[in-house]
Structure 1
Amino acid sequence: MQTTTLSFENIHQNGELFANMFRARRELFIVQNKWDLPEAMGMEYDQYDTPASRWVVVHDKLGKVLAGNRLTPTTAHCGIYSYMIRDAQRGLLDTIPSNLLFDEAPVSENVWESSRLFVSHDVPARLRRRVHAQLVFELAKAARNLGATQCLTLLNANWPRWAKRVGVDMTAMGPVMEIDGINNQVVSMNFASNLH
């Protein structure tokens, strides 16, 4: 199992991995979850997949994607969009309620958003926990390398059951709310104590 943090600067060094990550997202979010999301050439994408973002990908030696995640700075802008949680709060997204945060969404160089976190549906049950832990460890490492002391993410509200297991200090930033029949919550992952 390997992990690579992709950016628009290094995708040329990683063969098909970038495209494979978007293909794996399509398989999970569009095919399995039946979400109505943009797709092209067998890949899922959205307005936040820009050169400002980074993608943490857990994969095997052949480039098969096991898990992934997108990191976007809260200072990002692309047309009317900034980052998913803030745009939902501003009422720009139909699929996420605008009351998802207790306070105003932050815009700060040391706060990034973690989104599109997934573990591929075909990762065997016996490996899922290990793959998920590796993904969270690497996303924390990538976020710290980018100068983030905090990441906001919209997660399944069962996060308190596994947060300590993966070693991340997490705090609720909004109410539990149902989206597509699943209880979700915005959470802050605190990386400040891990910065060197």
Structure 2
Amino acid sequence: MIFIIDSLNLREHEPLVKDMFRLRKRVFADRLGWDVRVSQGMERDRFDDLDPAHVISVDDEGRVVGCMRLLQTTGPHMLSDVFGAILDGEPPLRSATCWEATRFCVDTEVLTGGRASNSISYVTSEVMIGAFEFAMSAGVTDAVAVIDPVMDRVLKRSGNAPHGYLGTPKPMGKVTALAALMDCSEERVARIRAFSGIDHDVMQPHRVTA
């Protein structure tokens, strides 16, 4: 199940958000070895203080097993403030109808292979569906994400291929980074659903908004 958590319902779901930050720490700091800020067992950065929306996948046992962060591009965001070298001197993308998707991860220690609801493939698709459906409901038409070649291949295999790229790939630490563009559309969601076999509503039934 997908929970969308933002500034409107953050207090209602604070335990889930803390579990999400703990998952990010296990993935980005422990497993991938990124140079990220960790405090009290949680990975957070300055962009988490800018009222993003968090797309959080929760399994049947109430565990956070996947997540993604969505942030407006009209203000500070990672492509403009951290990965600007990718843009080759071009101004960063800034649009009220384009959001940046970052900090995507899944819990590979809990999830399995295959296509079952507790699989890496399923949760990856569920998070993508939730993110695109929420973005469309907010009037967003496009998303940009800084990804590596492995994630690029995952997107292409799952019916979620980028429709374009900004700038040129650049080495960032141990990997190459690309800025990928994706339309937020019913057609894209339908392709992800067809790949994953997810034909039900993935969203939390009653979203708390106040």
In structure 2, what is the equivalent of residue 125 of structure 1? Answer: 113
Q: Write out aligned runs for 1:100-119 (5 A).
A: 100-101=86-87, 103-119=90-106
> Once the 2 structures are TM-superposed, how far is the Cα of residue 107 of structure 1 from its aligned partner?
1.3
Aligned to 1:83: 77
Q: Contact between 2:85 and 2:170, CA under 8 Å: does it hold in 1?
A: no
Alpha carbons of 1:35 and 1:165: their partners in 2 closer, same or farther (altered >3 Å)?
A: closer
Question: Counterpart amino acid of 2:128?
Answer: V
Letter in 2 for 1:152: V
The answer to whether the 8 A contact 1:58-1:131 is kept is yes
In structure 1, what residue type is equivalent to 2:92? A
Q: Residues 54, 178 of structure 1: CA spacing in aligned structure 2 closer, same or farther, 3 A cutoff? A: same
Change (3 A) 1:161 1:36: closer
Structure 2 unmatched ranges of 5 or more: 189-210
Q: Is the 8 A contact 2:108 2:120 kept in 1?
A: no
Greater shift in the superposed pair: 119-128 or 132-141: 119-128
Q: Which moved more, 1:106-115 or 1:50-59?
A: 50-59
Q: Secondary structure at the match of 1:16?
A: helix
Q: TM-score, normalised by structure 1?
A: 0.82
User: Residues 16 and 63 of structure 1 are in contact (CA less than 8 Å); yes or no, is this contact kept in structure 2?
Assistant: no
Q: Is the 8 A contact 2:36 2:43 kept in 1?
A: yes
Give the letter aligned to residue 114 of structure 1.
A
1:99 corresponds in structure 2 to 85
After the TM superposition, which segments of 4 or more aligned residues of structure 1 sit over 6 Å from their partners? none
| Residues 7 and 51, structure 1, Cα contact 8 Å, conserved in 2 | no
In the alignment of these two chains, the number of paired residues is: 181
Q: Which has the higher contact order (CA 8 A, sep 6+)?
A: 2
How far apart, CA to CA, are the structure 1 residues paired with 2:157 and 2:136?
19
Higher percent of residues as helix: 2
Pair 1:176 & 2:175 matched: no
Query: Mind listing any 5+ residue stretches in structure 1 that lack a counterpart?
Result: 77-81, 89-95
Distance 1:137 1:56, change over 3 A: same
Q: Considering only aligned residues, what root-mean-square deviation do their CA atoms show, in Å? A: 2.1
TM-score (norm 2): 0.77
The 5-angstrom pairing of residues 1-196 of structure 1 reads: 2-14=1-13, 16-76=15-75, 82-88=76-82, 96=83, 98-101=84-87, 103-122=90-109, 123-126=111-114, 127-168=119-160, 170=162, 171-191=164-184
